[in-house]
Amino acid sequence: MTNPPSPTSEIARIGSYHAHIYYRTPEQRAQAEHLRTQIAERFSVQLGRWRDMVVGPHAAPMFQVAFATESFPIFVPWLMLNRENLTILLHPNSGQPRRDHQVHAVWFGEVLPIMNPEHLPETSSDDETVTPNTTPTA
Ligand code: ZN
């Protein structure tokens, strides 16, 4: 009998997280701008560019927030309380991009499709390091 892997060793594969914040209407874009400003003022995270044009695998316009595992216990509950009705995809970066988006992901609000998941590699050795925003600008 071999022991199952410990939960801690599985979790250790997660190098960072992404929150993808989606918007589709002008009202949601304005809400997303407000949320982005609040995030920039409060958290040491990495804010991605505005993606007003849909870029795969994402099914709607969005921006990305990359954050370190240490930020999870503060940033994620804060998002829960402040996302209003925006749809958010939260996924780990565990070296399995396809599973991280399709299987390991958590959705806040509406669940959107992941477009062309076959374009996501099954495994990745890229250690995505988060460069926290130390001079926040929204
Ligand atoms: Zn992502």
pLDDT tens-digit series, residues 36-93:
999 999 999 999 999 999 998 999 999 999 999 999 999 999 999 999 999 999 999 9
Ligand 1 centre distance from Cα of residue 3 (Å): 32
Higher pLDDT, residue 3 or 27? 27
- Banded model confidence at residue 129, pLDDT cuts 50, 70, 90: low
pLDDT of residue 3: 82
Cα 66 to averaged position of ligand 1 atoms, centre (Å):
8
Q: Are 59 and 113 in contact (CB under 8 A)?
A: yes
Å from CA of 17 to ligand 1 middle: 8
Distance CA 119, CA 56 (A): 9
Given a cut of 90, whether residue 95 has pLDDT beyond it is yes
At the fourth CATH level, the homologous superfamily of domain 21-119 is DOPA-like domains (3.30.70.1240)
**What pLDDT shows up at residue 86?**
98
Q: How many helices (H) and strands (E) does the chain have?
A: 4, 5
pTM of the model: 0.89
Q: Which residues surround ligand 1, an ion (CB under 5 A)?
A: 18
Using the mean position of ligand 1's atoms as its centre, give its distance from the Cα of residue 6 in Å: 26
